[in-house]
Structure 1
Amino acid sequence: MSIEKKEIVRARDVMDQKLVFVDGMATAAEAAAMMREEHVLSLLVEKRNPDDVWGIIVVQDIIREVLVTTREASEVNVYEIMSKPVVTVPGDMDIRYAARLLLNAGVRRAPVEEQGELVGMLSLSSLVLNNRLF
């Protein structure tokens, strides 16, 4: 009797390699324009200095903090509505554990990190749509 070994799919195998960065001082209107232009659902917020940590702004942040409020997108800065610190996923993490990490953190997407560098973006949808295990 042979035991078939399951192929391990890692975060780096299913991540989107496109990363788009925004300054925390940019407005929500500028961030939304960047998302439209770049066809992305999230932007990584640049560090202010080497000791700072990454932030992230996602479409839901703009909807929750601007669209459904009385605030003007041109008067709200990214730093006011971003999430920081951002949850990162190691590139070599098995996608089953990466899925648990995202779900437990209550996020839909997170940057993938390898050797201290951000190398891609992993989303819950990419875990299913970008792998051939199903």
Structure 2
Amino acid sequence: MKIKEIMTPDPITIPVHAPVRDAAALLKKHHIGGLPVMDGDRLVGIVTESDIIALLETGRISDDLWLPSPLEVIEVPIREIVNWEKTKSALKDIGDTGVEEVMSKPVVTIGEDQDIEDAAQLMLDEGIARLPVVRGDLLVGIVTRADIVSGVATSASGE
């Protein structure tokens, strides 16, 4: 079975300079996990739910024991207020981050005439869940793990 038989043609895309807020809105609206990122007609990246979630990474809490001095007892609450304000500001700014700052690149793609086995192997090798489908340099579709499973089920049932 060929990729063109199971792919979603004309995938929803996002411009390279769009804010992450727009990408997140498209992912939610269309119930999808990733968007090809376009610079005009040229595929330049892919932005996924994981890329957006990574913006929220906060790091681990330290396991070090710290005992404050008497002056630090006064300073610590003030420092925590400042840190909270920085955190609130950072969360607000996440939506304004450009897609080009978080997208995965270079993009792993597959040709529309390749076999679904090739796509499955490429996804496993690269640890990814979707592949933009290209014809030369032109984006013509997208194929996901679910598409491959559906294709296998269809061919197994003889439909």
The alignment's TM-score, normalised by the length of structure 1, stands at: 0.79
Q: Is the 8 A contact 1:88 1:113 kept in 2?
A: yes
Offset of residue 55 of structure 1: 0.6
Which amino acid is 1:105 matched to? Answer: E
The unaligned stretches of length 5 or more in structure 2 are 59-86
What residue is the counterpart of 1:41 in the other structure?
A: 33
Q: Rg bigger for which structure?
A: 2
Structure with higher RCO (Cα < 8 A, 6+ apart): 2
Q: Is the 8 A contact 1:15 1:126 kept in 2?
A: yes
Which amino acid is 2:146 matched to? Answer: S
1:126 is the counterpart of 2:126 = no
Q: Does the residue aligned with 1:83 lie in a helix, a strand or coil?
A: coil
What residue is the counterpart of 1:3 in the other structure?
A: none
| Larger helix share, 1 or 2 | 2
Q: Does the residue aligned with 2:133 lie in a helix, a strand or coil?
A: strand
How many pairs are equivalent? 123
Offset of residue 65 of structure 1: 2.2
Q: Does the residue aligned with 1:36 lie in a helix, a strand or coil?
A: helix
1:61 is the counterpart of 2:51 = yes
Which amino acid is 1:133 matched to? Answer: S
Which amino acid is 2:140 matched to? Answer: V
Specify whether residues 38 and 123 from structure 1 end up closer, same or farther in structure 2 by C-alpha distance, changes over 3 A only.
same
Q: Is the 8 A contact 1:53 1:85 kept in 2?
A: no
Runs of 4+ residues deviating >4 angstroms? none
Percentage of identical aligned residues: 32
The unaligned stretches of length 5 or more in structure 1 are 1-8
In structure 1, what is the Cα distance between the partners aligned to 2:21 and 2:137? 30
What residue is the counterpart of 2:116 in the other structure?
A: 95
